Amino acid sequence: MKEIRSKLKIILLLSVLAISINSSGQLMNHYWSLNFNSQSSLLSGAVVAGDGGNTSIYFNPSTISEIKNGSNLSFAASLLTWGVYYFKNALGSGINLTNVCFNVQPQFFSYSYRPKDSRFAFAFTVLTRMKERFDINYYNSQEIDIIKSSPGLENYNTSFTYFLEYSDNWFGVAGSYDVSERFKIGGSLFLSAAYLSYQISTSANAFSTTDTTWVNGVPNPGLVSEGTYSESFKFTDYRFIAKLGFTYIADRWRFGLNFTSKSLSIFSTGQEASRIQSMSNVTNPDNNEFMPGYMIINGQTRDHLKTRIKFPFSVSFGFIYEVNKSENRLYFTMEYFNGISPYLLVDAPVKDDITSQLIYSQMKNKDWLSVADVAKPVLNVAIGYRWKLSKKLMFLSGFRTDFNNINKADYKQYNDYNKINTTDINIYHYTGGVQFYFLKKYLLVAGGELSFGYDKNVKQIANFTDPVEYNSVDNRVLQGQLENKMDVYYFGFNVYLSAVFKFGGNK
C-alpha cells in the first residue's frame, strides 16, 4: 500500500493527473476583432474622435451629435467572413491541424434621431461585437510496438477534438448633447449577451489483436491500455456595460475621449459543465509494474454552477486631422484595456465523490470542475485615412493592432485550476473600401478586411508520433514528450456591405 501511495503521489502532484491540452485558438482573447461593416470598419475603428456614423454609439457616444436633423437607419450585412487557423506539428511531427470558420450573417443595425434645432441626439443599436465557431477533429490508427507487457505490435488509436463557439451580442441606447459648437458629451448603456460553448478531449489507447489472457482456463482478449481526458461547459452571461464620451473640435482638429466601464454581470442561463479523466493498464517504466488505474469524473448543471465572463474597463483617445481642408482626413485612435484579476469563469462546488478516496486524497487541486480566467492589460492602436475621390465618392483605409490579452498571464491563486486553452498570437488587420452617396439620402459602404497573426515554437498540443507507454516528463499516457515545435498561423478575410437611409431633415 505504501508503494502504491508513493507512486500515486508522484503522478498526482506533478501533473494533477493531467492530460491537458496546451494550445488551441479563438478570438475571444482579443478586444479589437470587431467588424461592424460600416465606414468605421473601413477606417479600422479609428473613429473615437468622429466619423463613426451610426457606430458612434459604440466607439464614442458623444459623436452621435454629428448626425443632422431627422432620422438615420443603418443596416449592415456581412457578405463573407472567412477565417483560417493552421497549427503546424500540433499533435506531433507532421500532424497538422486546420480550422476554417465561415459566417454569413447580419451584424449591425442602428437607428438614430435628432429633433430639429435641438442640441440632443439619440440612438439605438443591436450589434454583434464578436462571433466565432471553432471546430477541429482528428483520428488516427496504426500498428506499433508500444506496450512493454505485450510483445509485438499493438493497435495504437489516437483522437483529438476541440470545439468552441463564442458570440457577444450588444443591445444599446445612447444620447449626446452639444454643450457648444466645439464641445460634445454623450453616454450609452448596453446589455451584453455573451454565449460560450467549449469542449476539448484527447484519447489514446493501445491493444494487441493477437494476445490472449487466460482466466480460470477461459481465454480472454489482451488488456487495453488507455488514457483519456475530456472537458466541456457552456452558458450565456448577461451583463451591463456603459460608455461615457467627449468630443472637442478645434479648427482642422477633432479630439475624442471615451471611457468604457467594466462589465456588471446580471445573471447567467443554460449552465452546464463536465470533466472526465482516466487511465488504465499502463506500465511504470521505472520498475515495469502496472501503475494503479483511476477515473475522475464530475458534471454539474444549472443552479449548481455560477458562471460569468468579465469585460474590462477601458479608455480610448483619438484625433482626426483634416488635411489641407480638402476633406481628406487622417484618423488615429488608441485604446487601453485594463487587466482583469484572476477569477472563476465557472465556479462549481467542490465534491469528494468524483473519484476513489485514495486518488482524491492525493489530488493537488480538489476544485476539479471550476474554470479560471484572467486578462492582461492591452494597448491597441488604429490609423485610418480618407481620400475624397469625387463629390459623392470616398476611399477609406486603415490598419489596427489586435493584441492577445492572455499571453504569459499570471493566474496567481488559480494557477492549478482548469483553464480555457488558447493561443498567444497577436493579430493585425488591414481594411479598405469605398463609401458613396446614392439618390442624396442613401449612403452605401462596401469594402474588405485582411487579418494575419502567427506564433512560432509553441509547445505542442500532444505528441502522437513518438509515443511511449508512459511519458514521465510530461506525465502523459501513450504519448511522447511535448516539444516546442508547433507553429500557429491565423488568416482572416472579410467582405461586407452596409447602407444608411436618412428620413426627414436635411438631405
| CATH for 420 | 2.40.160.60
Question: How many structural domains is the chain composed of?
Answer: 1
- 348-353 mean pLDDT: 94
Instruction: Let me know if residue 507 belongs to a domain.
Output: no
Instruction: Let me know if residue 411 belongs to a domain.
Output: yes
Stronger pLDDT, 86 or 503, i.e. the higher one: 86
The 3 state secondary structure assigned to 104-149 is EEEEEEEEEEECCCCCEEEEEEEEEEEEEEEEEEEEEEEEECCCCC
Instruction: Let me know if residue 197 belongs to a domain.
Output: yes
Among the ranges given (220-224, 263-267, 271-275), the one the predictor scored with the smallest mean pLDDT:
220-224
Instruction: Let me know if residue 337 belongs to a domain.
Output: yes
Q: How confident is the model at residue 209 (pLDDT cuts 50, 70, 90)?
A: confident
pLDDT (tens digit per residue) in 394-443:
999 999 999 999 988 899 999 999 998 888 899 999 999 998 887 667 77
Instruction: Let me know if residue 89 belongs to a domain.
Output: yes
Stronger pLDDT, 220 or 5, i.e. the higher one: 220
Cα–chain center distance at 66: 33
Stronger pLDDT, 358 or 37, i.e. the higher one: 358
Instruction: Let me know if residue 54 belongs to a domain.
Output: yes
Computed over every residue of the chain, the mean pLDDT equals: 86
Cell numbers for 461, please give them: 498540443
Instruction: Let me know if residue 80 belongs to a domain.
Output: yes
Domain range for 428 is 2-215+224-502
Q: How far apart are CA 196 and CA 238, in angstroms?
A: 12
Cell numbers for 392, please give them: 459623392
Strands, DSSP E only, in 338-425? 340-347, 371-375, 378-388, 393-402, 418-419
Instruction: Let me know if residue 244 belongs to a domain.
Output: yes
Strands, DSSP E only, in 146-211? 154-178, 183-207
Cell match 494476445: residue? 211
Given a cut of 50, is residue 22 above it in pLDDT? no
> Do the beta carbons of residue 386 and residue 331 sit within 8 Å?
yes
Q: How far apart are CA 90 and CA 423, in angstroms?
A: 12
Q: With residue 10 as reference, give the H or E element that holds it.
A: helix 2-15
Q: How far apart are CA 432 and CA 37, in angstroms?
A: 11
pLDDT (tens digit per residue) in 362-399:
888 899 999 999 999 999 999 999 998 888 899 999 99
